[in-house]
Amino acid sequence: MRYRTVIYVRWKITGRVEIFINLGKLYDRYSSSELGVSRSTLSKKDLYGGYVSDIAEIFKCHVN
């Protein structure tokens, strides 16, 4: 894999996990209302610490 970080999304209701290479790809697939958080809010957050909404948990993590 050529990416050094990924965006990890875990949906709370289903427990499904999805991986995205950046926020742009995440928001190409899902809207703010589907995720429970706006893109501008996530851009301002340190996603290594994660962001938890009522709908999903969103984290950024390193990959080797």
* Residue reference for tokens 């995440």: 26
pLDDT for position 3: 62
Q: Which two tokens stand for residue 10?
A: 């875990």
Dump pLDDT digits (tens) for 27-55.
999 999 999 999 999 999 999 999 999 99
Rounded distance, CA 1 to CA 63, Å?
8
pTM: 0.84
